[in-house]
């Protein structure tokens, strides 16, 4: 017979063996639970990181829900806060800081960038050759070196180009102001322009000389550098009896719409601008590329890039639709008669 001591030893060995089996079983159950949990997690749809659209904006940020780019992207399935976000940097009251703001925006590494004025696009282009940049109606992209050609951009910049319609604008103005002899060309000169696009001055001078010599009048160029400069310029135009003025579509002008329209009316200067907004705010007329179409087309480019397209494979597009808007109230204030033939051609009349 086994002694009591031997019995205790056997009992202890049995207990240890039982505990080892129980422990292994528990480990096995735990591992199976972990594997099952991982498999279940793998089968679940994973959260997709929202795409990021960087905007170097003329207007205040954030972009409003009624913004045409916001609305068009929504139509294409991009809902802000759900599958994409805007990373918006405003240049309002900071035009001299455009290069620095472009640098700041690029450092955030958005999936795609949007900008309109050519100085903004050039500032972004200087900061990145890899992040796609979509032009929102940018003037002369090939001449400025932003794209190799319209059909084959070849770099990281594509989108919608903007026509220079100065000759046509002056022809339209002459129909209302028959004795057009002396015209002021008002285009901003900012540190950004001097730094990023010194060649633009030469292109502009050639364009101006060609238009003036063809239509038989003389230009005088005025280059405001700050909002207050517009007051002095329009007072000078009135004192020197200029026949008319043209407002360039630069960033400074676009951020001073109301001021410029009020000055043109106060000093009774027939003035023309590029986009419909100018005539709507009080200038005599505007003629230019259809801006709502431009914004919609640029948004289509953003959609394609976010879905995997390369900017070098997307030809730059130019507008085929142009808007003529005439402000008949302003014409009456200026004592001018708009010919019926011109009224018939207008896309919009403001009465």
Report pLDDT for 26.
62
Other beta carbons within 10 Å of 322: 14
- Residue 217 belongs to a domain: yes
Report the distance separating Cα 304 and Cα 308, nearest Å.
7
Q: Report the number of distinct structural domains present in the chain.
A: 2
Co-location of 157 and 226 in the same domain: no
pLDDT tens, residue by residue, 157-184: 999 998 778 888 989 999 999 888 999 9
* Cα three-residue angle 313-164-235, rounded to 5 degrees: 140
Report the distance separating Cα 339 and Cα 44, nearest Å.
68
Report pLDDT for 208.
62
3-state secondary structure of 250: coil
Query: 225: domain CATH number?
Result: 3.40.50.2300
DSSP label at residue 312 = G
The residue segments making up the domain with residue 201 are 166-290+321-350
Query: b or e along 214-235 (b: 16 or more beta carbons within 10 Å of the residue's beta carbon)?
Result: eeebebeebbbeeeebbbebbe
pLDDT at 247 over 70: yes
Co-location of 74 and 132 in the same domain: yes
Residue 218 or 50, more confident: 50
Report pLDDT for 64.
85
Task: Give the phi and the psi of residue 31 in degrees, each rounded to 5.
Answer: -65, -40
Co-location of 214 and 70 in the same domain: no
Distances (CA, A) of 47 to 41, 83, 185, 186, 298: 12, 10, 54, 51, 28
Co-location of 183 and 249 in the same domain: yes
Co-location of 308 and 270 in the same domain: no
- Given strand 157-162, what is the order of strands in its sheet? 84-90, 51-57, 112-115, 133-139, 157-162, 317-318
Task: Give the phi and the psi of residue 13 in degrees, each rounded to 5.
Answer: -65, -40
pLDDT tens, residue by residue, 54-79: 999 998 999 888 889 999 999 999 99
Lowest average pLDDT, out of 115-129, 177-191, 200-214, 304-318, goes to: 200-214
pLDDT at 188 over 90: no
Co-location of 109 and 246 in the same domain: no
Co-location of 140 and 224 in the same domain: no
Average model confidence (pLDDT) for the chain? 85
pLDDT at 2 over 60: no
**Contact of 290 with 134, CB cutoff 8 Å:** no
Report pLDDT for 230.
97
pLDDT at 329 over 90: yes
Co-location of 221 and 92 in the same domain: no
pLDDT at 323 over 80: yes
pLDDT tens, residue by residue, 134-144: 999 888 899 88
pLDDT at 314 over 90: yes
Residue 18 or 93, more confident: 93
Co-location of 206 and 68 in the same domain: no
Co-location of 198 and 281 in the same domain: yes
Q: What is the CA radius of gyration of the chain?
A: 32
């Amino acid at each position: 017979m086994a002694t009591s001591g031997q019995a205790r030893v056997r009992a202890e060995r049995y207990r240890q063996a039982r505990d080892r089996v129980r422990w292994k079983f528990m480990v096995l159950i735990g591992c199976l639970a972990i594997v099952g949990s991982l498999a279940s997690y793998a089968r679940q749809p994973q959260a997709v990181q929202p795409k990021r659209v960087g905007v170097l904006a003329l207007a205040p940020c954030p972009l409003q829900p009624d913004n045409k780019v916001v609305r068009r992207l929504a139509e294409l399935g991009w809902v802000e806060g759900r599958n994409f976000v805007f990373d918006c940097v405003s240049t309002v009251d900071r035009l001299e800081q455009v290069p620095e703001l472009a640098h700041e925006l690029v450092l955030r590494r958005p999936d795609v960038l949007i900008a309109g004025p050519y100085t903004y696009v050039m500032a972004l282009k200087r900061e990145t050759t890899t992040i796609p940049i979509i032009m929102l109606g940018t003037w002369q992209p090939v001449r400025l070196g932003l794209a190799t050609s319209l059909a084959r951009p070849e770099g990281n910049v594509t989108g919608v180009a903007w026509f220079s319609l100065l000759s046509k604008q002056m022809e339209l103005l002459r129909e209302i102001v028959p004795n057009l002899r002396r015209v002021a060309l008002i285009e901003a000169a900012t540190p950004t322009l001097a730094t990023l696009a010194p060649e633009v001055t030469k292109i502009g001078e050639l364009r101006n000389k060609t238009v003036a010599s063809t239509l038989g009048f003389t230009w005088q160029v005025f280059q405001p550098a700050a909002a207050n400069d517009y007051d002095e310029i329009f007072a000078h135009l009135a004192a020197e009896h200029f026949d008319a003025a043209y407002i360039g579509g630069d960033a400074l002008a676009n951020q001073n719409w109301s001021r410029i329209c009020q000055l043109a009316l106060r000093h009774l200067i027939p003035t023309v601008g590029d986009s419909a907004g100018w005539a709507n705010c009080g200038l005599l007329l505007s003629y230019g590329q259809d801006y709502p179409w431009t914004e919609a087309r640029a948004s289509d480019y953003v959609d394609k890039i976010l879905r995997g397209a390369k900017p070098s494979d997307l030809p730059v597009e130019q507008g085929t639709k142009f808007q003529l808007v005439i402000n008949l109230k302003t014409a009456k204030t200026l004592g001018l008669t708009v010919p019926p033939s011109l009224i018939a051609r207008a896309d919009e009349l403001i009465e």
